[in-house]
Amino acid sequence: MHDNDITGIIEADKAHVWHHLTQHKAFETSDPRIIVEGKGIHVWDATGKKFLDAVSGGVWTVNVGYGRESIANVVRDQLIKLPYFAGAAGTIPGAQFAEKLIEKMPGMTRVYYNNSGSEANEKAFKMVRQIAHKRYGGKKHKILFRERDYHGTTIGTLSACGQPQRAEQYGPFAPGFVEVPHCLEYRAQWDLSGEAYGKRAADAIEEVILREGPETVGALCLEPVTAGGGVITPPPGYWERVQEICKKYDILLHIDEVVCGLGRTGTWFGYQNYGIKPDMVTMAKGVASGYAAIACLVTTEEVFNMFKDDAADPMSYFRDISTFGGCTAGPAAAMENMRIIEDENLLGNTLAMGERLMLRLEELKEKHAVVGDVRGKGLFCGAELVADRATKEPVAEALAQKVVAECGAQGVMIGVTNRSLPGFNNTLCLSPALIATPDDIDQIADSIDVALTRVFG
Ligand code: PMP
C-alpha cells in the first residue's frame, strides 16, 4: 500500500488506474500526471509543479475554484446528519437547492436529481419517449440532435452524438435519433453571414423535421454554446428561429447546459443569453463545481404534469430512479456553490474577464496567421487553428496538442477539442474558473502567444 511517497503513487496508478480518454501506450515511455492539490485557480502536480488551470479541472467543471472550505464544511455537516436516502423520499438539501435553482430559471418548476450529465440527458430522452407513448401513440418519439454537439457517454446519449469520433466504435445505437446541421458560421454550409446565416442554419432544422414528418419528432436537444465540438457560439437570429420552429411543430426544446450551466457564460444558464424558453434543461459540471457529483434535469410544470394527470393509467408516472440522485452531498454542495457565485458576483466577473480574454484572443489572431477564428461567451472561449487562412484547412491535431503542451511547459493548462471530429480537433479551449483575475487572463493569453510562436514560428 502506497501512502504519500510519490514514486509509489505513480507506480500504483500505472499498474491499476484505467484513465479516461487515454491511450495507455503513452505510459510505457512517460508517467501519468497526478494532480495533488488545488487552491483558487491553481493546481499542483506530484512533481510540485504549479499550473494556472485554464480549463477548470480539465472539462469546464470547477467554476468557483479550488480549496473552498465553506463547501467542504456544509458537505461534512450534511454527511454526518444524513448522507443518503433514495429519491422517492425528499431530503432537506434536495428541497432547498431545488427551490433556489428554480428561482434562477423563470418558467421552469421541477428538478429531477441525477449524478452525471449523461444520465440527466438520458432521463430527458426517456421523458420524451414516454410522452410520445402517453400522448401520441408512440409516434412522436424522434429526438433531434445537432452535428458537433455532445450529450454524453452512454449508448443512449451517444445515439445523439454529433461528434463521430466519440461514437464510431460503440454502435449499434438506439433508433430514433436524427442529426441536424451545425451552426458554426466560420465553417458555413451556405454562402451567408450574420443573421441571414443564423436563420438559414435554423431553417435547416425545419427541413429535417419536414423530411422526417413533424408528427414523428418529439424533441430537439441542443447545447446553448457547443463545447467539445469547437466552442461554437450561435449566430444572431438562430435561437429565435429555433424557438419558433419548436412551437410550430409542437416539439419539446431540451437545452443541454452541462457545460454552460451555473455561470460559465456570465449568466446563470447559457440559454438565458438568447431569450429562449426551454421545456427541459439538463446541467451537471458547474452545479457543485465538482465538489460533489450532482446533475439535474429541470422541466416546466407542463412537462411535469404530463406524468401526473393520467387517471386512465395510474402507472404512467416517470418510472425512473437514480440511486445516487439521492446523495445529499450534491445538493448541499450545490447550494453553497450558488451562494458563492452570488455573494462574490462571479457572473459579473465572468462577463468582465470573458471580455478581456476575447480581446486578448483577437490580438493573438492579429499576430498569428494560424489563428483562424476566435469565439466565446463569458469565460468559455475558443481559438480555432488553421494551416491556411484562405482555405481554412485545420491544423493537424498533433500540432494543436503541441500548443497545449507548450502552454503546460509554461505552467498554464489549456485544452483542445479532442478526438471528436475527424480533421477538426483544432480548437484551443479556454475556460478558467469564474474567479479569474485580469492577471490570470493575461497569463493565459501570454502563454498561448509564446506557444504559438514556438510551434508555428
Ligand atoms: N453534455 C455536454 C454538453 C458535455 O460536455 C458533457 C461532458 N463533457 C456531457 C453532456 C456528459 O456529462 P458527463 O460526463 O457528466 O456524463
For residue 3, pLDDT beyond 60: no
Claim to verify: residue 158 and residue 246 sit in the same structural domain: yes
| pLDDT given for residue 4 in this prediction | 67
- CB of 197 within 8 A of CB of 188? yes
For residue 416, pLDDT beyond 50: yes
Nearest alpha carbon to residue 198 among 245, 151, 253, 143: 245
Claim to verify: residue 294 and residue 351 sit in the same structural domain: no
328 lines ligand 1 (CB under 6 A): no
Claim to verify: residue 170 and residue 265 sit in the same structural domain: yes
For residue 313, pLDDT beyond 50: yes
Q: What separation in Å is there between the alpha carbon of 294 and the centre of ligand 1?
A: 12
Examine residue 425 and state whether it is found in any structural domain, yes or no: yes
Mean pLDDT of 413-441: 96
Examine residue 402 and state whether it is found in any structural domain, yes or no: yes
Summarize pLDDT for 67-94 with one digit per residue, the tens.
Answer: 999 999 999 999 999 999 999 999 999 9
Nearest alpha carbon to residue 127 among 48, 21, 45, 219: 219
Nearest alpha carbon to residue 115 among 93, 91, 82, 87: 87
φ/ψ of 387, rounded to 5, equals: -75, -25
163 lines ligand 1 (CB under 6 A): no
Written as one letter, the residue type at 241 is: R
259 lines ligand 1 (CB under 6 A): yes
356 lines ligand 1 (CB under 6 A): no
Candidate from 21, 122, 150, 182 with most ligand 1 atoms within 8 A of CB, to mutate: 150
Q: What separation in Å is there between the alpha carbon of 154 and the centre of ligand 1?
A: 10
Last residue of a domain, one of 293, 324, 343: 343
59 lines ligand 1 (CB under 6 A): yes
Nearest alpha carbon to residue 405 among 345, 340, 454: 454
Nearest protein Cα to ligand 1, atom 9: 152
Examine residue 447 and state whether it is found in any structural domain, yes or no: yes
- List CB contacts of 186: < 8 A, sequence separation 6 or more: 372, 373, 375, 384, 392
The model carries a pTM of 0.97
CA distance 405 to 271: 33
Share of the chain above pLDDT 90, in %: 96
Claim to verify: residue 421 and residue 273 sit in the same structural domain: no
Q: What separation in Å is there between the alpha carbon of 231 and the centre of ligand 1?
A: 14
CATH of the domain at 279: 3.40.640.10
Segments of 320-449 assigned E as strands: 371-376, 381-388, 393-394, 412-413, 415-416, 427-430
- What letter would DSSP give residue 77? H
Claim to verify: residue 74 and residue 169 sit in the same structural domain: yes
Examine residue 22 and state whether it is found in any structural domain, yes or no: no
Examine residue 3 and state whether it is found in any structural domain, yes or no: no
Claim to verify: residue 97 and residue 215 sit in the same structural domain: yes
Cα-only R_g, the chain: 22
Examine residue 18 and state whether it is found in any structural domain, yes or no: no
| pLDDT given for residue 312 in this prediction | 72
Atom of ligand 1 nearest to the CA of 119: 16
| pLDDT given for residue 1 in this prediction | 47
Summarize pLDDT for 233-252 with one digit per residue, the tens.
Answer: 999 999 999 999 999 999 99
CA distance 26 to 15: 13
Written as one letter, the residue type at 164 is: P
Mean pLDDT of 434-439: 98
Claim to verify: residue 336 and residue 380 sit in the same structural domain: no
114 lines ligand 1 (CB under 6 A): no
Claim to verify: residue 306 and residue 364 sit in the same structural domain: no
What residue numbers bound the domain in which 233 lies? 70-343
Claim to verify: residue 325 and residue 376 sit in the same structural domain: no
| pLDDT given for residue 81 in this prediction | 98
**Quick check: ipTM above 0.95?**
yes
Mean pLDDT of 212-216: 98
Examine residue 26 and state whether it is found in any structural domain, yes or no: no
Last residue of a domain, one of 343, 358, 383: 343
Q: How many domains does the chain contain in total?
A: 2
Mean pLDDT of 402-412: 98
DSSP letters of 294-336? -EEEEE-HHHHHTTT--TT-TT-S-----GGGGBSHHHHHHHH
Claim to verify: residue 390 and residue 440 sit in the same structural domain: yes
Summarize pLDDT for 13-71 with one digit per residue, the tens.
Answer: 999 999 999 999 999 999 999 999 999 999 999 999 999 999 999 999 999 999 999 99
Atom of ligand 1 nearest to the CA of 149: 3
Share of the chain above pLDDT 70, in %: 98
CATH of the domain at 399: 3.90.1150.10
Last residue of a domain, one of 311, 343, 375: 343
Claim to verify: residue 213 and residue 76 sit in the same structural domain: yes
Examine residue 147 and state whether it is found in any structural domain, yes or no: yes
Claim to verify: residue 212 and residue 330 sit in the same structural domain: yes
